Structure 1
Amino acid sequence: MFIGRKNEIEKLNGFYEGETVSVAVVSGSIGVGKTSLLQEFAQEKNAIFFEAYETTGKHQLERLGQLMGMEALDAASFCKEISERASKEKQLIIIDQYPNFVKADSEFDRLLHDYVVGEWKDLPVKLIFCSDAFVLIDKHVNGKKAIWSKDISLDLEVKPLGFYDSCQFFGDASPKEAAYLYGITGGIPYNLVRVANLLGIGGFKGYGLSPITRDDKLKEITVKLFLDKNTNFGLNPEKVMATELRELAYYNYMLATLAKGLNRVNQISAEVEKPKDVVVPYLNSLMAIGICTKDTAITEITNRKKTRYSIVNTSTLFWYKFVVPNVDDYNCGNVEKLWAAVEESLDDYMKTVFIKICGEYLADQSEKNQLPFTVEEIGNWWVNDDEAGTTDGFDLVSLGKCDGKSATIFAQCYYNHEPIEVAQLKLLIEKTKQLHRQGDAFYLVFSNAGFHENAVTISSAIKNIMLITLDEMR
């Protein structure tokens, strides 16, 4: 069953149009669904879909020849065969894990490029390279020093699914359950499919996972995905990083530090006991492979004092927040103690997940013109307390338009157990005085536990205050 990826399919279809040669690169981390996307795209097309793996060049060509029904295939005969076929009808060639081919046979890579810029230039050949190793795809295909760098017409990075597409894997889960499952899976299809299998949802079977029927299903799913070393059905972030990075020691330490909420360079430097000029290159490496990101206040992007780092995917955050700090319990199989650690800090973790869902909701509703404003950029804004080592600000700040004029949207996202009262609305409005806004101001308050009657009364009387519950967002 194929879910989501509407925008990606549209981009690939656009790439496929035309009667001249074109080259695309599709990248993304392990488990994000690149192969499934390309298989879906290739349906009902005249396609050669070849997955390279780590072997010799001779063996790669033997396997490719078997796929094409040709014996004694070499690089030259492959290219000539494609020329012959393309003279009759459009050819789609997808090579998954292409860096494995290049490492095994660099001559094949060079000859293929020669044909693309030469003999195939006016032929309908559509060539797609795919890889889940950012470093290698950059080195061999779309990096500045790669021979293909000037010939790529589509560079598509496949990212995890958003909340709304992910919910299709959760069946009739409640909004609160869906938010948690989205958090621990991170929207990664590898994880989502296994959760759907555990929930007994049709169309996602065949992974050796018996459906869970117990009342504590969220606990059991979490255990099977991440907390039980003997099952470990989820995608382990450390194993993903190991495909890109040579030594994980300080990377693991830095990510565990970020997961604790220490997100500024000086804080990370002090925690890992490395100077800033060592810490920053490590962070840059993590950003290069999409593990973490650098945040700046949305209206002060050049203010270096307002720079902080965060872990991109909530599944990775879960691992470094709960498993890595309790790795002895993980190695010993102490599942109950691990789950107790999850429960103890669950609200703090889910606040991060909830902010992410709220940001997706804003973008989705703006795209559908369901808001009194349009959103052009979503970020946040904060002030630092250097003495306390803390920050205070907004969970989300968006810049956009209302009736053609600039608008600033301030949002707070409350993940707690009590309905939000009018005092919290007043606090949000008061806090906006710290920030010079652009044009009209809108105040959004998101809550998983709903709103007190006094907050609803106030918001109904003031048009620029919006109250949004998790149930509405599901």
Structure 2
Amino acid sequence: MIGRLDELNQLERFYNSSKFEFLTMYGRRRIGKTTILREFAGRHKALFFSAQEKNDSLNLLDFSKMVQTFFEGSFISSFQNWEAAFEYITGKISDKKLVLIIDEFPFLAEPNPSIKSILQHTIDHVWKGKNIFLILCGSSVSFMLNDVMGYKSPLYGRITGNMEVKPFDYLESAEFFPNYSKTEKAIAYGILGGVPRYLEAFSSEISLEENIKNNLLMEGAFLNDEPQTLLRIELREPSVYNSILEAISNGCNKVCEIADRIHEEKSKCSKYMLTLQTLRLIEKCVPCTEPETSKKGIYEITDNYYKFWYRFLFTNQNYYSMLGLELSCEEILENVNDYMGPVFEKICEQYLIRAARAKKLPFIPYKMGKWWGNNPLIKAQDDVDILAFDKTGKKVLLCECKFRNKPMPMEEYDDLVMAAEMFKNAEEKYLMFFSKSGFTESVKERAVRENAVLLTIEDLY
């Protein structure tokens, strides 16, 4: 099992508690929640039930079979109702911690909303004083946040912990491709993101080009139509969401721009985009120095595979089918450096987060991210790929990130130095440059003189 040590350690801490614990786990589909839970369940005495999209009676029957087989070794008959099922489990609780895991809980609670109240009553009157660890898990993020954890839910106030399972970062994702070069690992992450199921779809035993052709472009391959499949599962009007995601992937990153592009009302777009944010597919980004409510905010696709798919496959599927696998792959790779530019910035930001945790930066960033806005020194719009500052605002780190096939020239160095001049209040300024293909000799010499940090892609892994 790759990664997920933090998640497993957190589950172990709950298990080792001497009192009743109730954890909610959620995260988008394919993120690996069930894998984590099965790994954890395999270590302990655990009742593990995966709900399915069935009616309430059939789910209760499946639950009855699981519980009775676990305790008795065989199935006798279905419990009359959920109250009886939970009462039976109560009678089996001993001094040793009992773990009850219900995976895909929304599949239980949607056909039978009363199960939340039944659980609430059981917790309040029986389980609260018992040595039991209850875990409810779900892929419907909005349902878990609102219907399970929300203040209007009967279960509100009973939960002792929650866990959002998030995608792997670039370094964890690289473990799926031990045979790849550092650049190939970065591109694989740029294409697939950190979703385990997507990473597993590529094989480290074949080249990146072969993976793109066979596991992504080929009709019928798992990844070929995956974004469409998930949208159809999660949403009622996938066509509108498709249009929004395509617009964002093509550079329309404000609500008004997106509305104009897809010919929909701005209010309707805002509502749909909120849903996409809940699904963790897009996020609103503001310049690093601005508050979250800033009107300068723009929208970005957060999932790399969706970003890649809408950029290359969504509008080109018919074209690629005529072009053929070889030429389609060749055309994608010709444009991959341009696509990887913003992705590489995120990779570098993840590197800095890891470095900060390891206390390897000049200071611990209080806020970090991209900055864009007006530079009064050049009287024009300017940007900094990554800007970080400490809690006092007196220490500033500025980073330039370039994913190109040639060494970074002096012009890029000069641009960052000029941008640094804007931050007049900073008493300490640090410059850091990331470059896929290294740096020119003049840049290397200047960096030594000025104590700037130069990092290649090899240094990130």
TM over 0.5: yes
Q: Which shows bigger deviation, 289-298 or 40-49?
A: 40-49
Instruction: Please tell me whether the aligned partners of residues 215 and 223 of structure 2 are also in contact (alpha carbons under 8 angstroms).
Output: yes
- Indicate whether 1:71 and 2:76 are aligned: yes
Q: Tell me by how many angstroms 1:166 deviates.
A: 1.0
- Indicate whether 1:93 and 2:104 are aligned: no
Corresponding letter in the other structure for 1:453:
E
Task: Within 5 Å, give how 1:87-126 maps onto structure 2.
Answer: 87-126=94-133
Corresponding letter in the other structure for 2:439:
F
- Indicate whether 1:163 and 2:163 are aligned: no
1:212-235: CA deviation from partner (whole Å, max 9, x where unpaired): 3xxxx2122112232112323467
Which residue matches 2:72?
none
SS of the aligned residue for 1:375 comes to: coil
85 and 330 in structure 1: CA distance in 2 versus 1, 3 angstrom threshold? farther
Distance in 2, matches of 1:280 and 1:436, equals: 37
Corresponding letter in the other structure for 2:460:
M
- Indicate whether 1:396 and 2:386 are aligned: yes
Gaps of 5+ in 2: 70-74
SS of the aligned residue for 1:20 comes to: coil
Corresponding letter in the other structure for 1:199:
S
Corresponding letter in the other structure for 1:239:
T
- Indicate whether 1:52 and 2:39 are aligned: no
Q: Tell me by how many angstroms 1:446 deviates.
A: 0.6
Distance in 2, matches of 1:247 and 1:424, equals: 44
Corresponding letter in the other structure for 1:122:
G
Which residue matches 1:458?
446
Instruction: Please tell me whether the aligned partners of residues 27 and 34 of structure 1 are also in contact (alpha carbons under 8 angstroms).
Output: yes
- Indicate whether 1:148 and 2:147 are aligned: no
Distance in 2, matches of 1:439 and 1:112, equals: 56
Which residue matches 1:470?
457
**TM-score, length-normalised on structure 2?**
0.91
- Indicate whether 1:415 and 2:403 are aligned: yes
1:255-281: CA deviation from partner (whole Å, max 9, x where unpaired): 111111221223222211223223222
Instruction: Please tell me whether the aligned partners of residues 276 and 282 of structure 2 are also in contact (alpha carbons under 8 angstroms).
Output: yes
Q: Tell me by how many angstroms 1:77 deviates.
A: 2.8
Q: Which shows bigger deviation, 414-423 or 92-101?
A: 414-423
351 and 52 in structure 1: CA distance in 2 versus 1, 3 angstrom threshold? same
281 and 103 in structure 1: CA distance in 2 versus 1, 3 angstrom threshold? closer
Which residue matches 1:243?
233
Task: Count matched residues.
Answer: 449
Gaps of 5+ in 1: 201-211
Which residue matches 2:17?
18
Q: Tell me by how many angstroms 1:16 deviates.
A: 2.4
Which residue matches 1:129?
136
Instruction: Please tell me whether the aligned partners of residues 190 and 234 of structure 1 are also in contact (alpha carbons under 8 angstroms).
Output: no
Which residue matches 1:447?
435
Instruction: Please tell me whether the aligned partners of residues 133 and 243 of structure 1 are also in contact (alpha carbons under 8 angstroms).
Output: no
SS of the aligned residue for 2:110 comes to: helix
Which residue matches 1:209?
none
Instruction: Please tell me whether the aligned partners of residues 292 and 310 of structure 1 are also in contact (alpha carbons under 8 angstroms).
Output: yes
Distance in 1, matches of 2:125 and 2:424, equals: 56
Which residue matches 1:290?
280
Corresponding letter in the other structure for 2:446:
I
Distance in 2, matches of 1:235 and 1:324, equals: 9
Q: Aligned to 1:220, which of 204, 210, 227?
A: 210
Distance in 1, matches of 2:214 and 2:162, equals: 35
Task: Within 5 Å, give how 1:244-283 maps onto structure 2.
Answer: 244-283=234-273
SS of the aligned residue for 1:338 comes to: helix
Instruction: Please tell me whether the aligned partners of residues 373 and 381 of structure 2 are also in contact (alpha carbons under 8 angstroms).
Output: yes
Distance in 2, matches of 1:89 and 1:422, equals: 65
Corresponding letter in the other structure for 2:164:
E
Which residue matches 1:199?
204
Q: Tell me by how many angstroms 1:63 deviates.
A: 1.4
